[in-house]
Structure 1
Amino acid sequence: MGNQVAAAVVYRDGNILITRRAPGEKLAGMWEFPGGKLESGETPQSCIVRELREELGVESDAGEILTTSMFTYPGGTIELIAMTVSLRSDVLTLHVHDRAEWVTPQDLLSYELAPADIPIAEEIIRKYG
């Protein structure tokens, strides 16, 4: 099994949260659904709550898994697990990103998304668009 990565699909008032990787980070300048690698013993849900706390300084509640996608980078294969998440606060503090945007599902593909995130965007458009 390759690395598992959890990604947050935060849908609020008709918009989806995406965040842009800051200069100096891997995939700098690309947009993504916030999240990160599962650590040993974590569920996708516990991982995403931890990652949103670390990356965005916000508490959240993880919901159901929306979709998963396999993606092979030069460094290896990841399984991206996207789940619906509700935030407990609107105040985001960016730690590994330089921008956050709330965008309509229809607009997601006009952003330069990280490659593994594109199938998730397509699923969001199918479900919410």
Structure 2
Amino acid sequence: MEIRADPMEVGRARRWARSRLAGCGIGQDEPLAETVVLLISELVTNAVVHTGCPAVLRMLLPHQHAEGAGAVRVEVADSSSRTPRPRQAEGDDTNGRGLELVSGLADRWGWHRESGGKRIWCELGPATEG
């Protein structure tokens, strides 16, 4: 899904994710769906707010992995060279917790530079190889 550099895109990304999950038989009230939607919300928000660049959201569901593993993988790629950095939010801060939430909710997460930008990813479920 292509994401414009607009905070309104976060809601559209959540709706897209819920629709894709429902299409695979994962109900929106299931814990997996709620967690995936929250992770997408955080990663898309970070891309839109901190880079000011358009981004591409990708969600790989278990049946889409070549090896058939049960992990759900979320990726957000953007054209910014700005490094994602976890921040330490203080008690009443209204932002600065995005990557901390991703780290706490995802089984694995990371990022890597790509030609023309970077890709940040996270996974829920069994580890995939490759």
Which TM-score applies when normalising by structure 2?
0.28
Of the two, which has the highest radius of gyration? 2
Which TM-score applies when normalising by structure 1?
0.28
Higher strand share: 1
Higher helix share: 2
